[in-house]
Amino acid sequence: MERRRFLKGAALGAGATALATPAVAQGTKQLTIVSTWPRDFPGLGTSAQRLAERISEISDGHFNVEYFAAGERVGAFDVFDEVASGNSEAYIGADYYWIGKHPAFGYFTSVPFGMTTAEWNAWIKYRGGQELWDELAGEFGLKTIPCGATGTQAGGWFNSEIESPDDFRGLKMRIPGQGAEVIAKMGGSTVSLPGGQIYENLVSGAIDATEWVGPYNDYFMKFYESAQYYYTGGMHEPGGGLGFGMNRAWYDGLTDWEKAVIVAACNEEHANSYDEAQALNGEYLQRLVNEQGVKVRNFNDDVWDGFGEGAKEVFEELRDHSALAAKIDDAFQTNLRELGDMMAQFEITFVNQRNRVLGLG
Residue ranges of domains in the chain: 3-146+240-279
pLDDT at 26: 53
Convert the pLDDT of each residue in 133-152 to its tens digit. 999 999 999 999 999 999 99
Sheet arrangement for strand 189-191: 189-191, 172-174, 209-210, 154-158, 229-233, 295-297
Q: CA–CA separation, 29 vs 25, rounded Å?
A: 9
Greatest CA separation for the chain: 64
Q: CA–CA separation, 48 vs 60, rounded Å?
A: 19
Q: CA–CA separation, 142 vs 140, rounded Å?
A: 6
Please list, in sequence order, all residues whose beta carbon lies within 8 angstroms of the beta carbon of residue 171, skipping any fewer than 6 positions away: 183, 187, 188, 189, 208, 209
Please list, in sequence order, all residues whose beta carbon lies within 8 angstroms of the beta carbon of residue 305, skipping any fewer than 6 positions away: 165
Helix (H) or strand (E) holding 9: helix 3-12
Q: CA–CA separation, 80 vs 20, rounded Å?
A: 24
Convert the pLDDT of each residue in 165-187 to its tens digit. 999 999 999 999 999 999 999 99
Q: CA–CA separation, 323 vs 97, rounded Å?
A: 21
The letter for the amino acid at 95 is: D
Q: CA–CA separation, 203 vs 227, rounded Å?
A: 9
Q: Find the mean pLDDT for residues 86-97.
A: 98
Please list, in sequence order, all residues whose beta carbon lies within 8 angstroms of the beta carbon of residue 257, skipping any fewer than 6 positions away: none
Neighbours of 346 (CB within 10 A): 10
pLDDT at 24: 38
Residue 282 pLDDT > 80: yes
What are the angstrom distances between the C-alpha of 94 and each of 37, 99, 352?
A: 10, 10, 31
Residue 338 pLDDT > 50: yes
Helix (H) or strand (E) holding 32: strand 29-35
Q: CA–CA separation, 310 vs 349, rounded Å?
A: 28
pLDDT at 11: 38
CA terminus-to-terminus distance, the chain: 30
Residue 104 pLDDT > 80: yes
Helix (H) or strand (E) holding 303: helix 301-319
Q: Find the mean pLDDT for residues 117-135.
A: 98
In this structure, what are the phi and psi dihedrals at residue 26, rounded to the nearest 5 degrees?
Answer: -60, 130
pLDDT at 361: 79
pTM: predicted TM-score of the whole model, two decimal places:
0.91
Output the DSSP codes for 228-289: -EEEEE-SS-SS-EEEEEEEHHHHHTS-HHHHHHHHHHHHHHHHHHHHHHHHHHHHHHHHHH
Share of the chain above pLDDT 90, in %: 92
Q: Which long-range contacts (CB under 8 A, 24 or more apart) does 302-309 make?
A: 302/164, 302/165, 303/162, 303/163, 303/164, 303/165, 303/167, 304/235, 305/165, 306/164, 306/165, 306/168, 306/186, 307/112, 307/113, 307/165, 307/182, 307/186, 307/235, 308/113, 308/235, 309/185
pLDDT at 27: 84
Q: CA–CA separation, 360 vs 354, rounded Å?
A: 8
C-alpha 98: how far from chain center: 12
In this structure, what are the phi and psi dihedrals at residue 309, rounded to the nearest 5 degrees?
Answer: -65, -45
Q: Which CATH class is domain 3-146+240-279?
A: alpha beta
